[in-house]
Amino acid sequence: MLVEITNRIEKIELRLDGLDKKLSGLARQNQGNVQVNNGDLSVLDSRLGELENRFNAHLIDYENFKNEVYNALKSLQEQLNDKVDFNKLAELERMLMDKINELSR
């Protein structure tokens, strides 16, 4: 399960990197094509700015999601490790009780 989640996160990172490169390319293309209409930037430049803002918001959301997944997996692993330790402790207790019973006979 951990490997599958890690693979999915890596795929998402690759897609985000690709989108970032496309967005940067569009921004570079548009730099020479900015037209001023009554003191405002062109519609294309405005739309590109909106896309960049949305993309950056998605990057932040993605990083938060990734951190939540890793923290949840870490917590789960710690819980499993604690359970294993508890089982070992119970086994040790049984062994000691058996030894005490043997000695008391």
Per-residue pLDDT of the chain (105 residues; tens, 9 = 90+): 667 777 788 888 888 888 888 888 877 776 665 554 544 556 667 777 788 888 888 888 888 888 888 898 888 888 887 776 777 888 888 998 988 888 887
pTM of the model: 0.51
Joined together, the tokens standing for residue 101 give 């019973």
Mean pLDDT across the chain, nearest whole number? 79
Q: What pLDDT shows up at residue 18? A: 85
Angle between helices 43-104 and 2-31 (to 10 degrees): 160
